[in-house]
Chains A and B, each alone.
Chain A
Amino acid sequence: MPKLEKGILLGFYFVQFLTGLSDASALFLVACGLSLIFGVLRIVNLAHGSFYMVGAYLAYYLIANFPQGAFFFWAGILLAALTVGTIGIVIETLLLRRLYYAPELFILFATFGIVLIFQDLSRWFFGAEDILGQQAPGLAGSIDIMGVLLPQYDVVLIVIAPLILVGLWFFLYRTRWGILVRAATEDREMSDALGVNQSRLFTGVFFLGSCLAGLGGAIQLPKGGANLLMDLNIIAAAFVVVVVGGMGSIPGAYLAAVIIGELSAFGVLIFPQSTLVLMFLLMAVVLVMRPHGLLGNAEPEVQGAAKMSTATLKPASKKLKLLGLALLILLFMMPVFVGSFGLVLMTEIALFALASMSLYFIMGPGGMVSFGHAAFFGGGAYAAALTVHYMQTPMELAILLAPLLVGLVALIIGWFCVRLSGVYLAMLTLACAQICWSIVFQWGKFTGGDDGILGIWPSAWASDKTVFYYLTLILCIGGIMALRHFIFAPFGYTLRACRDSSLRVDSIGINRHRHQWFAFTLAGTFAGFAGGIYVFSKGNVFPDVMAIPRSFDFLFMILLGGIETLFGPIAGSAAFTWLHDQIARIDYWQLILGCIFILLVIAFPDGIAGSIHTRLGRYFED
């Protein structure tokens, strides 16, 4: 920091404080919309970040096409928010309404499908370039505070959030609709009984929440502009707000948004590299002191995602074992049948199968749905790549080091995550993964940032595609068999016990958090192992490997293959990787993938695997 006089220093800190407040406002708008929707509809809307992004783009587009002037500027912002709200209505009535009784995870999937669709649509309409927002007419200057300048527009942002907070309070506590919303938030059955027109209430709340997200995106336009990374960045930050502030508490959301805004405003002075680490520490402190968030109440029973399996665990039948053996032989003979391109694909399938199996380990037996597993897979890829890049580590050692390093990361992240359960846990994993991704993405000097790390090739003996395929196959099968073995071991049973009944587990002397923590770490380690091999199969690594969409790929593999069977993740990875390979050559493939997600979820509301399992399962019994 430059040497400043005392008065100016004070002004500097004050302006920094105000900047933090203005940063908080858009975040608050998104988070409180998310909270409102979750409270009434019990849906964690992953597309909420997309609404924010679309709000920003739409505002830009409208303002650019409107005549100049303050009136049209604000009209553009308002219209953008209302348009996003209308998009929300369309999505709620056409899609989400069909899914209210489907498993929670499926609804999340549908909303993630929307995220993908909006990604590509935004790229299509607005281009891939980052957009600088227009300045607000009449507010483009700065004001002088004790000798330090603060942009005038920041003052607008500072004022808007508390206004919305008060407005929402008024709406919730002083209007009939607001009372209904509160009733529905507190007790769904009761509000049903009160004769509330539920579907209108749901649509209304979804509209309001979407508007708030759109407004958030629009008002931050002059300050932050618009880009295609906004959606997942803001949703992760909003999840942090919700975890810190307390789910369902709107004042909590404001408080948390302000704390986060201030933390990054002042954090920049201390840790210019990564204010995200501070976000992480904040969550740590809050989760230790107040597990339900600063202003939140005790976590309501949200079980959906966790309650997926009540089937007992049976060792594979003879028929299944034979089938597995046949498959194994086929896999080993693969190089005879397919060319080197096919082998590359098969290598990828094997690695994804191991990664998704490790996710399955915590999700199926553990009942802990993670939306951030790619952080460990990608983390492994980066760990291996970095050791090779900076220390010329040989491949053999790098493949061993990767899981260890990632295991350490999983140990830290897992410690937080196991303190929560259900959707809260899922949100926290997503936020943590996004933080990991951002660190890799932003810390360009060390990780290469967007340009990735190139030239990570296998040792000479394994450089032949066939040899590398065999190496991968053996390691992955070993990893999968190990995970399978753990599931049948006392540890795996204990994990299932923790999922089934925390009350019972507690009363027979089992430390639930510790076992879940251990499982989380173990799963991260295996994902890191897969990632470490993956980087050598590709020869390079980019931040994409640990981005949120990759996490959803893994989840999708499991859903595709089936949560009820251990074989599921393997079949799912094969199916998904093949599908992905087919569509990845098309421009705007995310759009297609998003549509596939949504269609599958609508077509099989009871679970894709569930349907297949009930139809084919009996053929494989003894």
Chain B
Amino acid sequence: MAIILKVQNLHKAFGGLRAVVDVSFQLEAGQLMAMIGPNGAGKSTCFNLINGQLNPDQGSIFIMGQKVNGEKPRDVWKLGVGRTFQITSTFPSMTVLENVQMSLLSHNRRTKSLLTNVSRLYVAEAMALIDLVGIADQAHRSCGVLAYGDLKRVELAVALANQPKLLLMDEPTAGMGPAERQGLMKLTESIVHTREMGVLFTEHDMKVVFDYANRVIVLNRGKMIAAGPPDEVQKNNEVKKIYLGTASS
């Protein structure tokens, strides 16, 4: 299988706070990898390092074999990396459809066009993506008024618009009920397989993690304390102590 993402000895500190300490892992096409850990473990920081929002202090990141340290997020995106945020970030003055169109416009390098009219561009493609993530009925509503769970779906559609090879999903199911969570993860799973891409996601719902992830990485205070298939990680004593122990209580 093709290696999509390779992270080696990644370090990041904010002042004295060591948020990510010596993290290494790799992700293959077709894999759904979960990154778990208690609040403040450094998961979002890892995501920010991978998509270029932050610069690592040490270590290297390869996406499809290309080193991306120090690249800007927009250049990382161009390599085929889609991203959703823990706190959703959409364009509130635009409808769902327009949000997805924006991503398609950027993908097709049409953002500087002055003469065409957006209402006629990539509508069908955008609608297909919106349909895929299951919010076709919301397509013409403004993102400024959407429910949180639906915004997460908008972000997914936006991220999928550039046909990414790597999808980074920071808490994709936050704000959803249990059934909706399962639905979204099933959808993600099927997209991973049909599109041959890799997904790295964080999640606080352990059921979701162990039902859908092929591999799990556990972070605690920035350090990677376990990595492997879900059932192995589940048995790891250290993980049980610092993480699952608190989760099950």
Contacts and interface: CB of A to CB of B under 8 A. Distances in A.
Contacts of B73: 506-507
Nearest to A365: B93
Interface residues of B, number: 40
B113 interface: yes
Contact of A310 (B53, B92, B112, B113): B92
A501 B95 CA distance: 14
B5 interface: no
Interface string A488-528: 11111110110111011011111100010010000000000
A590 B114 CA distance: 40
A513 to B, nearest CB: 11
A111 B73 CA distance: 40
B89 A503 contact: yes
A311 interface: yes
Nearest to A367: B93
Nearest to A506: B73
A511 B162 CA distance: 16
A300 interface: no
Most buried by A among B78, B83, B106: B106
Interface in B78-101: 78, 83, 85, 89-95, 98, 101
A500 B118 contact: no
Contacts of B194: none
Contacts, number: 114
B144 interface: yes
A509 B106 contact: yes
A493 B121 CA distance: 12
Given A493-B105, A509-B77, A515 B94 contact: no
A499 B92 CA distance: 10
B167 to A, nearest CB: 12
A511 B106 CA distance: 10
B77 A500 contact: no
Interface string B18-39: 0000000000000000000000
Given A312-B98, A503-B85, A509-B77, A489 B113 contact: yes
A501 B74 contact: no
B204 interface: no
Nearest to A499: B93
A82 B190 CA distance: 73
Contacts of B161: 508
A544 to B, nearest CB: 33
Given A494-B111, A497-B102, A506 B118 contact: no
Nearest to A503: B89
Interface in B108-137: 110-119, 121
A285 interface: no
Contacts of A492: 118
B118 A489 contact: yes
B110 A490 contact: yes
B93 A515 contact: no
B138 interface: no
B103 interface: yes
Contacts of A170: none
Nearest to A518: B112
B158 interface: yes
Interface residues of A, number: 30
Contact of B95 (A312, A485, A497): A312
A434 B110 CA distance: 36
Nearest to A486: B114
B72 interface: yes
A529 to B, nearest CB: 15
Nearest to A493: B118
A397 to B, nearest CB: 24
A134 interface: no
A504 B116 contact: no
Given A491-B112, A493-B105, A508-B158, A313 B117 contact: no
A313 B90 CA distance: 16
B111 A507 contact: no
Contacts of B74: 506-511
Contacts of B83: 507
Nearest to A502: B89
A315 B91 contact: no
Contacts of B107: 508-509
B51 interface: yes
B188 interface: no
B102 A508 contact: yes
Contacts of A577: none
Contacts of A490: 105, 110-114, 116, 118, 121
B89 A312 contact: no
Contacts of A233: none
Contacts of B142: 310, 312
B117 to A, nearest CB: 5
B102 A493 contact: yes
Nearest to B79: A509
A309 interface: yes
B11 to A, nearest CB: 22
Most buried by B among A488, A490, A491, A494: A490
A445 B91 CA distance: 51
Contacts of A489: 113-118
Contact of B94 (A312, A315, A518): A312
Nearest to B98: A493
Contact of B162 (A485, A499, A501, A509): A509
Interface in A450-503: 485-486, 488-494, 496-497, 499-501, 503
B119 A496 contact: no
Most buried by A among B89, B92, B93, B95: B93
A511 B72 CA distance: 10
B89 A515 contact: no
A509 B92 contact: no
A503 B92 CA distance: 13
B92 to A, nearest CB: 5
A23 to B, nearest CB: 39
A30 B59 CA distance: 47
B72 A506 contact: yes
A503 B44 CA distance: 14
A491 B113 contact: yes
Contact of B93 (A312, A486, A510): A312
Contacts of A488: 117-119
A501 B91 contact: yes
Contacts of A310: 92-93, 142, 144
A312 B145 CA distance: 11
A500 B91 contact: yes
B113 A313 contact: no
Contacts of B113: 489-491
A507 to B, nearest CB: 5
Nearest to A315: B119
15 contacts: A310-B144, A313-B93, A485-B115, A490-B111, A490-B113, A491-B112, A493-B101, A496-B93, A501-B89, A504-B85, A504-B89, A507-B74, A508-B103, A508-B158, A509-B162
Given A508-B161, A509-B75, A509-B77, 10 more contacts: A309-B93, A490-B114, A491-B113, A496-B93, A500-B90, A503-B85, A504-B91, A508-B74, A509-B106, A510-B74
The 7 closest A-B pairs by CB, nearest first: A509-B77, A500-B91, A494-B111, A504-B89, A490-B113, A506-B73, A509-B74
Interface of B: 51, 53, 72-75, 77-78, 83, 85, 89-95, 98, 101-103, 105-107, 110-119, 121, 142, 144, 158, 161-162
